[in-house]
Amino acid sequence: MNTQNICNRIPVSRVQPEFIALMAALQLKGASTTALQELTANQWSQLLEVADLAHLTLFLSEVRSDGFPQWVAERLKRNVADNEARFERVKRTYEEAAAALERAHIEFMVLKGFTQSPDYVKNPRLRTQSDLDLFCPLEGLERAKTALEGIGYEAERSMEYSRADHLPAMIRRGSWAWRGNPFDPDMPLSIELHFCLWNEPILMLPVADVELLWNRRVSRTLEEIKFPALNRIDHLGYLALHILRNILAGDWVVHHVYELSRFLHEHANDDGFWDEWTATHSNYQRSLEAIAFAHAKAWFRCDVHQSVDAEILQLSPGVAQWLRLFSGSSLEGMFRLNRDWVLLHAALLSTAKEKRAVLFRAIVPKKIPSRSSPAIGLRHRRTRKISTRPNIQYISYLVSRTVTQAYLVPAMLFHGFEWWLLQRQLGKRFWTFLGASFFLT
């Protein structure tokens, strides 16, 4: 068996056709812009709306624009120019925040954002960044918060953070107002103070290795800014685990997976890197990272090192079967919600109690999702606006959730039964017979 049997091509039946056209243009091997060139003006408008939310617009700007409508090419050039100016704000914001933390003698390191350059994004100006992610050990967390408050930041309280890996985002109040441009150079950045690199209480998956990442941090330089960050091996591991975490939360991960695929592709022949990766990360951590690697290979057709292929092949039968059946579920979830990730989470857990907890949490969440999430934002733009009054918003949520659960839960159970049967090698013929018997009796 090879990894291609596990990393099946993504199913496209429930993914927006224009988004599939974008995915085709972003492939690491065999990329094609033919489908993009055939889009109508309305389809381009819808695609750019989703690409903005998915943080893929700047990656689209790197694709040859031959055959694109002139207004699309001009829009992309404007987005790139705006983001180039915005990166100057990113650097200034970081330098000011870092200086405040250093004055307070607080140790920290930078996660994600511009640290993705140059290994995952060649040019930091071609990456969307709306906040700074800073990790502080627990003993310095409150002092870090106080230091940032001292330069004008305050906690944002309108969102729900019970499952977050960081304190409520910190923002500076000012006169800036949203003008519909996600690349606005004047848009301020928020700061998120992270207190963990892997949220074991929420995920119920113990990854002891992450406790070692802090002590292995390094000092890096990007252009004129110097910053503490994860080393190259741990950076890859953290990104892969971050992707897995977001898959298990039902969040959008496509831009992270694309960045990961670029790294895997560029380092497919780097024996030294992968030897060090194998020696540094435990068998268990590498198995979790391999789930993200499998998504990158399935979605963007990247080359990978033989060590990556080996880890994917060693995944448990349940996880491997999930990838065969549902590797495209996170993409589908951008356009039509699903709960396929619950099955993956269940396959990774060791006790029946933990599996029941994940299932119950998926069916009966404790909190209303934030309206600022990409999926919620997309639906609100395409449907009638809902009142911001708390009572009316809650009633609207309950109604929409009841309707949504009417198909989400049965679909999840149906997929779970299919996944369970195929693990027992009953095969497609049995499944077809069972389905026909169900509808004909």
pLDDT: which is higher, 362 or 429: 362
Of all residues in the chain, the percent with pLDDT exceeding 70 is 79
Does the pLDDT value for residue 32 go beyond 80?
yes
- What confidence category does residue 54 fall into, taking pLDDT thresholds of 50, 70 and 90? very high
User: What was the pLDDT predicted at 158?
Assistant: 75
When pLDDT is averaged across residues 143-160 and rounded to a whole number, the result is 92
Of all residues in the chain, the percent with pLDDT exceeding 90 is 71
Helix 306-313 to helix 283-300 angle, to the nearest 10 degrees? 110
Distance between CA 407 and CA 409 in Å, rounded? Answer: 6
- What confidence category does residue 434 fall into, taking pLDDT thresholds of 50, 70 and 90? very low
Does the pLDDT value for residue 6 go beyond 80?
no
User: What was the pLDDT predicted at 383?
Assistant: 45
DSSP 214-226: GGG-EEEEETTEE
When pLDDT is averaged across residues 393-412 and rounded to a whole number, the result is 55
Give the Cβ contact number of residue 413 at 10 Å: 14
Distance between CA 307 and CA 276 in Å, rounded? Answer: 11
Domains for the chain: give ranges and CATH numbers.
3-174+182-440 (3.30.460.40)
Nearest to 170 by CA among 193, 139, 187, 186: 193
User: What was the pLDDT predicted at 418?
Assistant: 63
- Mean pLDDT of all residues belonging to the chain: 87
- pLDDT tens track for 296-314: 999 999 999 999 999 999 9
Sort 176 into a burial class: Cβ within 10 Å, 0-12 / 13-18 / 19+: exposed
When pLDDT is averaged across residues 266-294 and rounded to a whole number, the result is 98
Does the pLDDT value for residue 238 go beyond 50?
yes
User: What was the pLDDT predicted at 2?
Assistant: 65
Nearest to 132 by CA among 185, 215, 193: 193
- What confidence category does residue 425 fall into, taking pLDDT thresholds of 50, 70 and 90? low
- What confidence category does residue 376 fall into, taking pLDDT thresholds of 50, 70 and 90? very low
When pLDDT is averaged across residues 410-429 and rounded to a whole number, the result is 59
Give the Cβ contact number of residue 308 at 10 Å: 24
pLDDT: which is higher, 189 or 395: 189
- What confidence category does residue 269 fall into, taking pLDDT thresholds of 50, 70 and 90? very high
Nearest to 164 by CA among 203, 212, 217, 110: 203
User: What was the pLDDT predicted at 395?
Assistant: 53
Distance between CA 38 and CA 53 in Å, rounded? Answer: 22
Does the pLDDT value for residue 12 go beyond 90?
no
When pLDDT is averaged across residues 392-412 and rounded to a whole number, the result is 55
Backbone φ, ψ for residue 435 (5° rounding): -65, -45
Distance between CA 253 and CA 292 in Å, rounded? Answer: 10
Residue 67 in 3-state DSSP?
coil
Sign of the C-alpha dihedral computed for residues 175, 92, 370 and 168 taken in this order: negative
Give the Cβ contact number of residue 332 at 10 Å: 19
C-beta pairs of 351-357 under 8 Å, 24+ apart in sequence: 354/204, 357/204
- What confidence category does residue 294 fall into, taking pLDDT thresholds of 50, 70 and 90? very high
pTM as predicted: 0.87
Residue 155 in 3-state DSSP?
strand
Find all residues with CB under 8 Å of 75, minimum gap 6, and list them.
Answer: 48
Does the pLDDT value for residue 131 go beyond 70?
yes
β-strands 170-171, 154-155 pairing: antiparallel
Q: What is the 3-state secondary structure (H, E, C) of 347-398?
A: HHCCCHHHHHHHHHHHHCCCCCCCCCCHHHHHHHHHCCCCCCCHHHHHHHHH
Angle at 334 between CA 332 and CA 337, to 5 degrees: 70
DSSP 318-330: HHHHHHHHHTTHH
Nearest to 330 by CA among 384, 260, 254, 394: 254
User: What was the pLDDT predicted at 384?
Assistant: 44
- What confidence category does residue 358 fall into, taking pLDDT thresholds of 50, 70 and 90? confident
- What confidence category does residue 162 fall into, taking pLDDT thresholds of 50, 70 and 90? confident
